Amino acid sequence: MVDDLEKGLEGVLVAESGLSSVDGDAGRLIYRGYSIEDLARGASYEEVVYLLWHGELPTEDELESFTASLTEERSVDDDVLETIEQLADADERPMAALRTAVSMLSAYEPEADAEPDDLEATRRQGRRITAKIPTVLAAFERYRLGEEPVDPDPDLGLAANFLYMLTGEEPDELAAETFDQALTLHADHGLNASTFTSMVIGSTMADIYSAVTGGIGALSGPLHGGANQDVMEVLMEIDESDLDHREWIEQAIDEGRRIPGYGHRVYNVKDPRAKILEERSEELAEQGERKWYDYTTTIEEYLVEEQGLAEKGIAPNVDFYSGSVYYQLGIPIDLYTPIFAMSRTPGWIAHVVEYQEDNRLIRPRARYTGPEDQEFVPLEER
Protein backbone atom coordinates (compact mmCIF):
# COMPACT_ATOMS: atom_id res chain seq x y z
CA MET A 1 0.00 0.00 0.00
CA VAL A 2 1.46 3.34 -1.11
CA ASP A 3 1.77 5.93 1.65
CA ASP A 4 2.84 8.89 -0.50
CA LEU A 5 0.48 11.81 -0.06
CA GLU A 6 -0.54 13.66 -3.23
CA LYS A 7 -2.65 16.67 -2.30
CA GLY A 8 -5.43 17.16 -4.82
CA LEU A 9 -4.56 13.76 -6.32
CA GLU A 10 -1.96 15.60 -8.40
CA GLY A 11 -0.68 13.22 -11.08
CA VAL A 12 -2.34 10.18 -9.50
CA LEU A 13 -3.80 7.67 -11.97
CA VAL A 14 -7.20 6.48 -10.78
CA ALA A 15 -8.79 5.14 -13.98
CA GLU A 16 -8.30 4.32 -17.63
CA SER A 17 -10.37 6.13 -20.25
CA GLY A 18 -10.76 6.15 -24.00
CA LEU A 19 -12.70 9.42 -24.04
CA SER A 20 -10.29 12.34 -24.01
CA SER A 21 -6.61 13.04 -23.55
CA VAL A 22 -4.85 16.26 -22.58
CA ASP A 23 -1.18 16.84 -23.37
CA GLY A 24 -0.32 19.87 -21.29
CA ASP A 25 3.20 20.32 -22.67
CA ALA A 26 2.18 20.13 -26.33
CA GLY A 27 -1.11 21.98 -25.85
CA ARG A 28 -3.06 19.13 -27.39
CA LEU A 29 -6.57 17.88 -26.65
CA ILE A 30 -8.20 14.90 -28.33
CA TYR A 31 -11.63 13.27 -28.07
CA ARG A 32 -11.59 9.56 -28.97
CA GLY A 33 -8.38 10.15 -30.98
CA TYR A 34 -9.65 13.18 -32.92
CA SER A 35 -7.94 16.55 -32.42
CA ILE A 36 -10.09 19.25 -30.86
CA GLU A 37 -9.23 21.52 -33.77
CA ASP A 38 -10.70 19.10 -36.33
CA LEU A 39 -13.81 18.46 -34.25
CA ALA A 40 -14.46 22.11 -33.40
CA ARG A 41 -14.05 23.26 -36.99
CA GLY A 42 -15.57 20.30 -38.77
CA ALA A 43 -18.20 18.62 -36.59
CA SER A 44 -21.39 19.76 -34.91
CA TYR A 45 -21.85 19.48 -31.16
CA GLU A 46 -24.34 16.64 -31.71
CA GLU A 47 -21.68 14.75 -33.68
CA VAL A 48 -19.22 15.22 -30.83
CA VAL A 49 -21.73 14.01 -28.24
CA TYR A 50 -22.39 10.95 -30.39
CA LEU A 51 -18.64 10.36 -30.62
CA LEU A 52 -18.21 10.52 -26.85
CA TRP A 53 -21.14 8.21 -26.20
CA HIS A 54 -20.66 5.70 -29.02
CA GLY A 55 -16.92 5.74 -29.67
CA GLU A 56 -17.06 6.80 -33.31
CA LEU A 57 -18.35 9.65 -35.43
CA PRO A 58 -21.86 9.06 -36.82
CA THR A 59 -22.86 8.52 -40.40
CA GLU A 60 -25.43 10.91 -41.85
CA ASP A 61 -28.27 8.49 -41.03
CA GLU A 62 -26.96 7.87 -37.51
CA LEU A 63 -26.61 11.59 -36.87
CA GLU A 64 -30.12 12.28 -38.14
CA SER A 65 -31.56 9.60 -35.85
CA PHE A 66 -29.45 10.72 -32.88
CA THR A 67 -30.35 14.38 -33.32
CA ALA A 68 -34.02 13.51 -33.59
CA SER A 69 -33.82 11.50 -30.36
CA LEU A 70 -32.33 14.52 -28.57
CA THR A 71 -34.82 16.93 -30.09
CA GLU A 72 -37.85 14.95 -28.97
CA GLU A 73 -36.64 15.05 -25.35
CA ARG A 74 -36.21 18.84 -25.05
CA SER A 75 -39.51 19.67 -23.33
CA VAL A 76 -39.71 19.68 -19.53
CA ASP A 77 -42.68 19.10 -17.26
CA ASP A 78 -44.77 22.10 -16.19
CA ASP A 79 -43.99 21.38 -12.54
CA VAL A 80 -40.28 21.74 -13.28
CA LEU A 81 -40.92 25.05 -15.05
CA GLU A 82 -42.95 26.23 -12.08
CA THR A 83 -40.05 25.44 -9.76
CA ILE A 84 -37.63 27.23 -12.07
CA GLU A 85 -39.88 30.29 -11.99
CA GLN A 86 -39.91 30.21 -8.19
CA LEU A 87 -36.12 29.99 -8.12
CA ALA A 88 -35.86 32.94 -10.50
CA ASP A 89 -38.27 34.97 -8.35
CA ALA A 90 -36.15 34.13 -5.29
CA ASP A 91 -33.06 35.47 -7.10
CA GLU A 92 -31.34 32.09 -6.85
CA ARG A 93 -27.87 31.78 -8.37
CA PRO A 94 -28.05 30.26 -11.86
CA MET A 95 -25.80 27.29 -11.03
CA ALA A 96 -27.80 26.51 -7.92
CA ALA A 97 -31.03 26.78 -9.90
CA LEU A 98 -29.64 24.42 -12.54
CA ARG A 99 -28.54 21.96 -9.87
CA THR A 100 -32.01 21.94 -8.35
CA ALA A 101 -33.78 21.62 -11.69
CA VAL A 102 -31.65 18.70 -12.89
CA SER A 103 -32.25 16.87 -9.65
CA MET A 104 -35.97 17.47 -10.02
CA LEU A 105 -35.99 16.13 -13.58
CA SER A 106 -35.45 12.65 -12.18
CA ALA A 107 -39.01 12.72 -10.81
CA TYR A 108 -40.28 12.61 -14.40
CA GLU A 109 -37.79 10.03 -15.70
CA PRO A 110 -39.79 7.26 -17.44
CA GLU A 111 -37.05 4.71 -16.74
CA ALA A 112 -36.47 5.64 -13.12
CA ASP A 113 -36.92 2.00 -12.06
CA ALA A 114 -34.21 0.70 -14.38
CA GLU A 115 -31.56 -1.50 -12.78
CA PRO A 116 -28.40 0.40 -11.80
CA ASP A 117 -26.25 -1.81 -14.06
CA ASP A 118 -28.52 -1.33 -17.10
CA LEU A 119 -26.11 0.96 -18.92
CA GLU A 120 -28.31 1.30 -21.99
CA ALA A 121 -31.03 2.74 -19.75
CA THR A 122 -28.42 5.03 -18.20
CA ARG A 123 -27.46 6.27 -21.66
CA ARG A 124 -31.10 7.00 -22.49
CA GLN A 125 -31.52 8.85 -19.20
CA GLY A 126 -28.37 10.80 -19.99
CA ARG A 127 -29.79 11.71 -23.37
CA ARG A 128 -32.87 13.16 -21.69
CA ILE A 129 -30.77 15.19 -19.26
CA THR A 130 -28.59 16.53 -22.09
CA ALA A 131 -31.63 17.53 -24.12
CA LYS A 132 -33.48 19.22 -21.25
CA ILE A 133 -30.71 21.27 -19.63
CA PRO A 134 -30.74 23.94 -22.38
CA THR A 135 -34.51 24.28 -21.96
CA VAL A 136 -34.18 24.57 -18.18
CA LEU A 137 -31.42 27.16 -18.35
CA ALA A 138 -33.09 29.31 -20.99
CA ALA A 139 -36.38 29.21 -19.06
CA PHE A 140 -34.62 30.38 -15.90
CA GLU A 141 -33.22 33.41 -17.71
CA ARG A 142 -36.60 34.23 -19.29
CA TYR A 143 -38.30 34.09 -15.90
CA ARG A 144 -35.63 36.37 -14.44
CA LEU A 145 -36.54 38.91 -17.11
CA GLY A 146 -40.24 38.62 -16.28
CA GLU A 147 -40.94 36.84 -19.56
CA GLU A 148 -42.42 33.47 -20.45
CA PRO A 149 -40.14 30.65 -21.63
CA VAL A 150 -39.75 30.09 -25.35
CA ASP A 151 -40.67 26.61 -26.55
CA PRO A 152 -37.85 24.62 -28.19
CA ASP A 153 -37.68 24.79 -31.98
CA PRO A 154 -37.38 21.26 -33.40
CA ASP A 155 -35.84 22.62 -36.59
CA LEU A 156 -32.79 24.03 -34.80
CA GLY A 157 -29.72 22.23 -33.52
CA LEU A 158 -28.93 22.21 -29.82
CA ALA A 159 -26.69 25.29 -29.90
CA ALA A 160 -28.92 27.43 -32.10
CA ASN A 161 -32.02 26.32 -30.22
CA PHE A 162 -30.55 27.40 -26.89
CA LEU A 163 -29.80 30.89 -28.21
CA TYR A 164 -33.30 31.01 -29.68
CA MET A 165 -34.95 29.98 -26.39
CA LEU A 166 -32.80 32.52 -24.57
CA THR A 167 -33.76 35.53 -26.73
CA GLY A 168 -36.85 34.52 -28.67
CA GLU A 169 -34.98 35.27 -31.91
CA GLU A 170 -33.29 32.77 -34.18
CA PRO A 171 -29.52 33.42 -34.13
CA ASP A 172 -27.60 34.25 -37.28
CA GLU A 173 -25.27 31.69 -38.78
CA LEU A 174 -22.09 33.07 -37.18
CA ALA A 175 -23.62 33.17 -33.70
CA ALA A 176 -25.02 29.63 -34.01
CA GLU A 177 -21.74 28.22 -35.35
CA THR A 178 -19.69 30.02 -32.71
CA PHE A 179 -21.82 28.76 -29.84
CA ASP A 180 -21.89 25.24 -31.27
CA GLN A 181 -18.10 25.35 -31.44
CA ALA A 182 -17.84 26.61 -27.86
CA LEU A 183 -19.99 23.71 -26.65
CA THR A 184 -17.72 21.25 -28.46
CA LEU A 185 -14.62 22.78 -26.87
CA HIS A 186 -16.09 22.27 -23.39
CA ALA A 187 -17.64 18.83 -23.92
CA ASP A 188 -14.90 16.87 -22.16
CA HIS A 189 -11.48 17.40 -20.64
CA GLY A 190 -10.12 14.35 -18.87
CA LEU A 191 -10.60 13.80 -15.15
CA ASN A 192 -11.21 17.37 -14.07
CA ALA A 193 -12.86 18.00 -10.69
CA SER A 194 -16.47 17.88 -11.87
CA THR A 195 -15.93 14.82 -14.06
CA PHE A 196 -14.19 13.00 -11.23
CA THR A 197 -17.03 13.97 -8.89
CA SER A 198 -19.54 12.47 -11.31
CA MET A 199 -17.44 9.32 -11.59
CA VAL A 200 -17.17 8.93 -7.82
CA ILE A 201 -20.94 9.18 -7.54
CA GLY A 202 -21.38 6.82 -10.49
CA SER A 203 -19.02 4.29 -8.91
CA THR A 204 -21.59 3.77 -6.14
CA MET A 205 -24.04 2.80 -8.92
CA ALA A 206 -26.16 5.82 -8.08
CA ASP A 207 -28.43 7.02 -10.89
CA ILE A 208 -27.11 9.33 -13.60
CA TYR A 209 -29.21 12.26 -12.32
CA SER A 210 -27.26 12.11 -9.07
CA ALA A 211 -23.96 11.99 -10.95
CA VAL A 212 -24.82 14.99 -13.14
CA THR A 213 -26.18 16.95 -10.18
CA GLY A 214 -22.90 16.27 -8.36
CA GLY A 215 -20.94 17.42 -11.38
CA ILE A 216 -22.87 20.69 -11.44
CA GLY A 217 -22.15 21.18 -7.75
CA ALA A 218 -18.41 20.65 -8.29
CA LEU A 219 -18.35 22.96 -11.29
CA SER A 220 -20.01 25.75 -9.34
CA GLY A 221 -16.90 26.25 -7.20
CA PRO A 222 -14.80 29.30 -8.14
CA LEU A 223 -11.65 27.22 -8.54
CA HIS A 224 -13.21 25.19 -11.35
CA GLY A 225 -15.94 26.77 -13.42
CA GLY A 226 -16.17 30.49 -12.78
CA ALA A 227 -13.11 31.93 -14.51
CA ASN A 228 -14.92 32.87 -17.73
CA GLN A 229 -17.28 35.10 -15.77
CA ASP A 230 -14.32 36.57 -13.88
CA VAL A 231 -12.56 37.36 -17.16
CA MET A 232 -15.53 39.26 -18.52
CA GLU A 233 -15.89 41.23 -15.32
CA VAL A 234 -12.24 42.29 -15.63
CA LEU A 235 -12.79 43.31 -19.26
CA MET A 236 -15.80 45.38 -18.24
CA GLU A 237 -13.75 46.98 -15.47
CA ILE A 238 -11.17 47.94 -18.08
CA ASP A 239 -13.89 49.35 -20.30
CA GLU A 240 -15.29 51.50 -17.49
CA SER A 241 -11.87 52.73 -16.43
CA ASP A 242 -10.41 56.10 -17.37
CA LEU A 243 -7.19 54.31 -18.25
CA ASP A 244 -6.15 52.96 -21.61
CA HIS A 245 -6.52 49.17 -21.53
CA ARG A 246 -2.77 48.70 -21.70
CA GLU A 247 -2.29 51.17 -18.85
CA TRP A 248 -4.99 49.39 -16.86
CA ILE A 249 -3.31 46.00 -17.13
CA GLU A 250 0.09 47.48 -16.23
CA GLN A 251 -1.41 49.11 -13.13
CA ALA A 252 -3.24 45.93 -12.15
CA ILE A 253 -0.01 43.93 -12.36
CA ASP A 254 1.83 46.56 -10.32
CA GLU A 255 -0.89 46.26 -7.67
CA GLY A 256 -0.40 42.50 -7.54
CA ARG A 257 -3.80 41.66 -9.00
CA ARG A 258 -4.29 38.22 -10.50
CA ILE A 259 -5.71 38.26 -14.02
CA PRO A 260 -8.26 35.44 -14.47
CA GLY A 261 -8.11 33.14 -17.45
CA TYR A 262 -4.38 32.49 -17.12
CA GLY A 263 -2.71 29.29 -16.06
CA HIS A 264 -4.10 25.77 -15.99
CA ARG A 265 -3.68 22.69 -13.83
CA VAL A 266 -2.61 20.70 -16.90
CA TYR A 267 -1.57 23.06 -19.73
CA ASN A 268 1.88 24.64 -19.65
CA VAL A 269 1.28 26.37 -22.99
CA LYS A 270 -1.69 28.16 -24.51
CA ASP A 271 -4.85 26.11 -24.24
CA PRO A 272 -5.74 24.85 -27.76
CA ARG A 273 -9.37 25.70 -27.07
CA ALA A 274 -8.39 29.31 -26.37
CA LYS A 275 -6.76 29.55 -29.79
CA ILE A 276 -9.98 28.49 -31.50
CA LEU A 277 -12.16 30.86 -29.50
CA GLU A 278 -9.73 33.71 -30.15
CA GLU A 279 -10.41 33.24 -33.87
CA ARG A 280 -14.16 33.29 -33.24
CA SER A 281 -13.86 36.38 -31.06
CA GLU A 282 -12.17 38.21 -33.91
CA GLU A 283 -14.90 37.14 -36.35
CA LEU A 284 -17.58 38.38 -33.98
CA ALA A 285 -15.65 41.62 -33.49
CA GLU A 286 -15.80 42.28 -37.22
CA GLN A 287 -19.60 42.20 -37.03
CA GLY A 288 -19.98 44.14 -33.79
CA GLU A 289 -17.84 45.77 -31.11
CA ARG A 290 -14.12 45.22 -31.54
CA LYS A 291 -13.04 46.44 -28.12
CA TRP A 292 -13.53 43.12 -26.28
CA TYR A 293 -11.27 41.34 -28.72
CA ASP A 294 -8.73 44.15 -28.52
CA TYR A 295 -8.73 44.04 -24.73
CA THR A 296 -8.04 40.31 -24.61
CA THR A 297 -5.30 40.36 -27.23
CA THR A 298 -3.60 43.32 -25.57
CA ILE A 299 -3.66 41.59 -22.19
CA GLU A 300 -2.27 38.41 -23.72
CA GLU A 301 0.52 40.27 -25.51
CA TYR A 302 1.49 42.11 -22.34
CA LEU A 303 1.36 39.14 -19.97
CA VAL A 304 2.75 36.42 -22.21
CA GLU A 305 5.34 38.31 -24.22
CA GLU A 306 6.37 41.28 -22.11
CA GLN A 307 5.91 39.82 -18.64
CA GLY A 308 7.34 36.47 -19.69
CA LEU A 309 4.53 34.27 -18.39
CA ALA A 310 5.05 31.84 -21.23
CA GLU A 311 8.52 31.05 -19.90
CA LYS A 312 6.88 30.20 -16.56
CA GLY A 313 4.37 27.83 -18.15
CA ILE A 314 1.48 30.25 -17.67
CA ALA A 315 -0.67 30.97 -20.72
CA PRO A 316 -4.29 31.79 -21.62
CA ASN A 317 -6.78 29.02 -20.93
CA VAL A 318 -10.15 28.49 -22.57
CA ASP A 319 -11.90 30.78 -20.09
CA PHE A 320 -9.86 33.78 -21.19
CA TYR A 321 -11.62 33.87 -24.55
CA SER A 322 -14.91 32.09 -23.83
CA GLY A 323 -16.04 34.95 -21.59
CA SER A 324 -15.75 37.62 -24.26
CA VAL A 325 -17.19 35.30 -26.92
CA TYR A 326 -20.29 34.63 -24.82
CA TYR A 327 -20.64 38.35 -24.13
CA GLN A 328 -20.43 39.11 -27.85
CA LEU A 329 -23.25 36.59 -28.33
CA GLY A 330 -25.40 38.55 -25.87
CA ILE A 331 -25.37 35.93 -23.11
CA PRO A 332 -25.72 37.21 -19.51
CA ILE A 333 -22.46 36.95 -17.60
CA ASP A 334 -23.76 34.80 -14.74
CA LEU A 335 -24.92 32.15 -17.23
CA TYR A 336 -21.38 31.41 -18.41
CA THR A 337 -20.69 28.70 -15.84
CA PRO A 338 -24.13 27.06 -16.28
CA ILE A 339 -23.38 26.96 -20.02
CA PHE A 340 -20.10 25.26 -19.14
CA ALA A 341 -22.19 22.68 -17.24
CA MET A 342 -24.57 22.33 -20.16
CA SER A 343 -21.75 21.59 -22.58
CA ARG A 344 -19.86 19.28 -20.18
CA THR A 345 -22.88 17.14 -19.20
CA PRO A 346 -22.40 14.64 -22.07
CA GLY A 347 -18.77 14.24 -20.98
CA TRP A 348 -19.82 13.51 -17.41
CA ILE A 349 -22.32 10.96 -18.65
CA ALA A 350 -19.77 9.32 -20.94
CA HIS A 351 -17.24 8.97 -18.12
CA VAL A 352 -19.79 7.52 -15.71
CA VAL A 353 -20.97 4.92 -18.21
CA GLU A 354 -17.40 4.06 -19.23
CA TYR A 355 -16.38 3.59 -15.61
CA GLN A 356 -19.46 1.55 -14.75
CA GLU A 357 -18.65 -0.90 -17.54
CA ASP A 358 -15.89 -2.22 -15.28
CA ASN A 359 -16.98 -0.65 -12.02
CA ARG A 360 -15.12 -0.56 -8.75
CA LEU A 361 -16.28 1.65 -5.90
CA ILE A 362 -13.93 4.64 -5.63
CA ARG A 363 -12.73 4.65 -2.05
CA PRO A 364 -9.42 6.41 -1.35
CA ARG A 365 -8.03 6.79 2.13
CA ALA A 366 -6.61 9.64 4.20
CA ARG A 367 -3.52 9.69 6.36
CA TYR A 368 -4.70 10.00 9.96
CA THR A 369 -3.08 12.91 11.81
CA GLY A 370 -5.28 13.03 14.91
CA PRO A 371 -4.47 11.99 18.50
CA GLU A 372 -3.93 8.38 19.58
CA ASP A 373 -4.99 6.49 22.75
CA GLN A 374 -7.36 9.11 24.14
CA GLU A 375 -8.79 8.14 27.51
CA PHE A 376 -12.57 8.16 27.45
CA VAL A 377 -14.25 10.17 30.25
CA PRO A 378 -17.95 9.52 30.97
CA LEU A 379 -20.29 12.43 30.34
CA GLU A 380 -21.05 13.07 34.03
CA GLU A 381 -17.33 13.44 34.78
CA ARG A 382 -16.42 15.87 32.00
Cβ pair 351, 337 in contact under 8 A: no
Estimate the crossing angle of helix 245-254 against helix 227-240, to 10 degrees.
Answer: 120
Catalytic residue, chosen from 180, 264, 271, 351, is 264
Give the helix/strand (H/E) hosting 366. Answer: none
What is the enclosing helix (H) or strand (E) of 127? helix 119-144
**Amino acid letter at 230?**
D
Query: DSSP string spanning 274-319?
Result: HHHHHHHHHHHHHHS--HHHHHHHHHHIIIIIIS-GGGGT--B-HH
Does 239 participate in catalysis according to the annotation? no
CB 357 within 8 A of CB 120: no
118 labelled catalytic: no
Count H helices and E strands in the chain, helices first: 16, 3
Q: In residues, how long is the chain?
A: 382
Is residue 363 packed enough to be buried (19+ CB in 10 Å), middle (13-18) or exposed (0-12)?
exposed
Of the candidates 176, 199, 289, 284, which has an alpha carbon nearest to the alpha carbon of residue 17?
Answer: 199
Candidates 188, 230, 271, 319; catalytic one:
319
The full DSSP string for 226-286 is -HHHHHHHHHHHHHHSSS-HHHHHHHHHHTTPPPTTB--SS-SS--HHHHHHHHHHHHHHH
Cα 108 to Cα 37, 77, 341, 358: the distances in Å are 38, 7, 21, 29
CA quadruple 86, 89, 92, 98: dihedral positive or negative? positive
Residues classed as catalytic: 264, 319
